[in-house]
């Protein structure tokens, strides 16, 4: 177990506002004594067995009643923080909880910083850093899918995979160090082969971990989708159809939408910011020109662009001009107005991107046929959006959702690539060893073994007070 800070902390752990109950938490060596000094019940809390609940009153220094409470006594180490804890369940609403907290502080506790309870759980060795971060993600989860992912990380699924990778890295180091320390006992060629195959195994493990990182990041942080196209093709109608409410103004005349309009929605558990934008065309009107500029910026900044076209007519130069500004790999073409009959074919629409296809082998964009007016094809569009954002999902494996983890894994991978290169060059084992030490350190940053103090601070600052 690591060093635990000595002082006892207190905070309100429930959201402030009207509610049935509010919770004030105490954690630390003196938690139970401090609680006793402000609690009046049938027995002193110090004499109560662990994990028991007691009815009583919290009183201030003058013996005046502050609130009627239920006190839960929990002894170290089987608590959230691994320290002694007392939780006062007081009446809901901000006033009782604030007053109970105030007397806890008068009694000798210190106001907890953001995430300090979870930080203590981490310092006490009950959670590793991946799990502690999962706690913050659980609290912040926007969709059931995000919650499921964070719960999986809290249960240790991700930590387990990382532990496997760490074992492989350890075997790699053992193998390499044997070759360095006992060169006379080692056949260099077979040692190189052994290191090379372990290195490949480690790279496969990293690849598996990174496979789902785009999914993880999308589910955790959300993505942005821009609806773009020439005027009057039905971008605003599509926005309203996806939101299932009348958000954007729709009229029969081109150039209706001027400013970019942003709304949030969830598709397949992915939090999405959907943007309706002005129709792209050359215009004398200053406001319209500014709108088109914003639409271009939205398309550049979006995770995915949706090029909306009127499929009742063949695509024209105006459609082509919009397509030319988009990246086929992150674009979905929506052939709208199918209720009016087809005037465009799939090759026509994919052909809007023809200059990009071929040369670098990039596939054409996906085309989805819809009618914003009748709702036909909208289900296909929703799945196309989810797939376009996530790619193939390997949902059985825990997802790496956190950018910090993704970056650390990429660095592990870089060091392993260099190990490969060094082995191929026949470089001395000492150099291989150095890369492996660095790979191990990069991996340790994820679980907290080698994470610098300020990174830890930053991580726990993401939490709310009382967690």
Ligand X SMILES: Nc1nc2c(ncn2[C@@H]2O[C@H](COP(=O)(O)OP(=O)(O)OP(=O)(O)O)[C@@H](O)[C@H]2O)c(=O)[nH]1
What are the structure tokens assigned to 138, written together? Answer: 């659980």
Q: Which CB atom, from 234 or from 388, has the smaller least distance to Mg ion?
A: 234
Residue at token pair 């009815």: 55
Instruction: Tell me, by CB under 5 A, how many residues bind Mg ion.
Output: 4
CB of 255 to ligand X, least distance (A): 5
Rounded-to-integer distance, Cα 432 and Cα 430, Å: 5
Name the binder of 258 from ligand X, Mg ion, none, CB < 5-8 A by kind. Answer: none
Q: Which CB atom, from 21 or from 313, has the smaller least distance to ligand X?
A: 313
The residue whose Cβ lies closest to ligand X is 279
Non-local CB neighbours of 215 within 8 Å, separated by 6+ positions: 390, 391, 393, 395, 399
Q: Which CB atom, from 97 or from 233, has the smaller least distance to ligand X?
A: 233
Non-local CB neighbours of 269 within 8 Å, separated by 6+ positions: 143, 144, 145, 146, 219
**Taking a C-beta distance cutoff of 8 angstroms, is the pair 239, 370 a contact?**
no
Q: Does 447 bind Mg ion (CB under 5 A)?
A: no
CB of 262 to ligand X, least distance (A): 15
Q: Which CB atom, from 14 or from 371, has the smaller least distance to ligand X?
A: 371
Q: Which CB atom, from 205 or from 237, has the smaller least distance to ligand X?
A: 237
CB of 325 to ligand X, least distance (A): 15
Q: Which CB atom, from 91 or from 289, has the smaller least distance to ligand X?
A: 289
CB of 314 to ligand X, least distance (A): 17
Name the binder of 232 from ligand X, Mg ion, none, CB < 5-8 A by kind. Answer: ligand X
Query: Got the DSSP string for 173-236?
Result: HHHHHHHHH-GGGS-HHHHHHHHHHHHHHHHHHHHHHHHTHHHHHHHHH-EEEEEE-STTSSHH
**Taking a C-beta distance cutoff of 8 angstroms, is the pair 168, 161 a contact?**
no
Name the binder of 234 from Mg ion, ligand X, none, CB < 5-8 A by kind. Answer: ligand X
CB of 381 to ligand X, least distance (A): 12
Letters for 52-81 (x = contact with Mg ion by CB under 5 A, - = none) are ------------------------------
3-state secondary structure of 250: coil
Name the binder of 371 from Mg ion, ligand X, none, CB < 5-8 A by kind. Answer: ligand X
Tell which positions 318-377 bind Mg ion, by CB under 5 A: none
Q: Which CB atom, from 91 or from 281, has the smaller least distance to ligand X?
A: 281
Q: Does 153 bind Mg ion (CB under 5 A)?
A: no
Non-local CB neighbours of 123 within 8 Å, separated by 6+ positions: 2, 3, 4, 5
Q: Does 27 bind Mg ion (CB under 5 A)?
A: no
CB of 254 to ligand X, least distance (A): 5
CB of 232 to Mg ion, least distance (A): 8
Q: Hey, what's the torsion of the CAs at 406, 408, 410, 416, to 10 degrees?
A: -150
Residue at token pair 């309100």: 12
How would you classify the pairing of strands 65-74 and 85-91? antiparallel
CB of 257 to Mg ion, least distance (A): 3
CA 60 to chain centre: 43
CB of 296 to ligand X, least distance (A): 14
Footprint on this chain of ligand X (rule: CB under 6 A): 231-237, 250-252, 254-257, 278-279, 336-337, 339-340, 371-373
Q: What is the chain's Cα-based Rg?
A: 29
Query: Got the DSSP string for 121-161?
Result: HHHTTSS-HHHHHHHHHHHH--SHHHHHHHHHHHTTHHHHH
Neighbours of 406 (CB within 10 A): 18
Q: Does 232 bind Mg ion (CB under 5 A)?
A: no
Q: Which CB atom, from 369 or from 463, has the smaller least distance to ligand X?
A: 369
Rounded-to-integer distance, Cα 241 and Cα 288, Å: 24
Q: Which CB atom, from 231 or from 271, has the smaller least distance to ligand X?
A: 231
Letters for 243-272 (x = contact with Mg ion by CB under 5 A, - = none) are -------------xx---------------
Q: What DSSP state is assigned to residue 394?
A: -
Positions touching Mg ion (CB under 5 A) are 235-236, 256-257
């Amino acid at each position: 177990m690591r060093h635990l800070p000595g002082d006892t902390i207190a905070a309100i752990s429930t959201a402030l506002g009207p509610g049935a109950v509010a919770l004030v938490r105490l954690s630390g060596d003196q938690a139970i004594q401090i609680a006793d000094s402000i609690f009046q019940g049938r027995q002193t809390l110090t004499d109560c067995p662990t994990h028991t609940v007691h009815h009583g009153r919290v009183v201030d220094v003058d013996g005046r009643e502050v609130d009627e409470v239920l006190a839960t006594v929990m002894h170290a180490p089987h608590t959230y923080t691994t320290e002694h804890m007392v939780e006062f369940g007081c009446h809901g609403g901000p006033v009782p909880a604030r007053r109970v907290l105030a007397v806890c502080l008068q009694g000798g506790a210190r106001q907890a910083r953001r995430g300090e309870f979870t930080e203590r759980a981490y310092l006490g060795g009950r959670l590793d850093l991946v799990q502690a971060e999962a706690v913050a993600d659980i609290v912040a989860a926007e969709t059931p899918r995000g919650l499921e992912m964070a719960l999986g990380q809290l249960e240790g699924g991700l930590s387990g995979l990382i532990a496997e990778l760490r074992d492989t890295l350890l075997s790699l180091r053992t193998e390499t160090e044997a070759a360095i320390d006992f060169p006379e006992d080692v056949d260099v060629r077979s040692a190189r082969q052994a290191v090379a195959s372990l290195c490949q195994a480690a790279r496969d493990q990293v690849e598996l971990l990174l496979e789902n990182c785009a999914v993880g990041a999308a589910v955790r942080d959300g993505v942005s989708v821009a609806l773009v196209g020439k005027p009057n093709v039905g971008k605003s109608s599509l926005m309203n159809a996806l939101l299932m409410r009348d958000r954007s103004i729709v009229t029969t005349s081109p150039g209706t939408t001027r400013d970019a309009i942003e709304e949030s929605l969830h598709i397949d558990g992915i939090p999405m910011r959907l943007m309706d934008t002005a129709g792209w065309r050359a215009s004398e009107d200053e406001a319209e020109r500014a709108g088109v500029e914003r639409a271009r910026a939205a398309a550049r900044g979006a995770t995915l662009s949706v090029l909306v076209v009127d499929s009742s007519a063949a695509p024209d130069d105006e459609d082509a001009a919009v397509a030319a500004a988009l990246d086929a790999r992150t674009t979905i073409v929506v052939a709208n107005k199918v209720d009016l009959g087809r005037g465009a074919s799939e090759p026509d629409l994919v052909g809007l991107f023809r200059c990009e296809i071929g040369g670098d082998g990039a596939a054409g964009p996906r085309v989805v046929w819809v009618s914003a007016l009748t709702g036909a094809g909208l289900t296909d569009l929703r799945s196309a959006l989810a797939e376009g954002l996530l790619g193939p999902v390997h949902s059985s494996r825990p997802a790496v959702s956190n950018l910090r983890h993704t970056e650390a894994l990429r660095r592990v991978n870089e060091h392993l690539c260099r190990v490969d290169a060094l082995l191929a060059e026949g470089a001395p084992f000492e150099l291989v060893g150095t890369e492996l030490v660095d790979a191990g350190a990069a991996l340790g940053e994820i679980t907290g073994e080698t994470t610098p103090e300020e990174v830890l601070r930053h991580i726990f600052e993401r939490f709310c007070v009382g967690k």
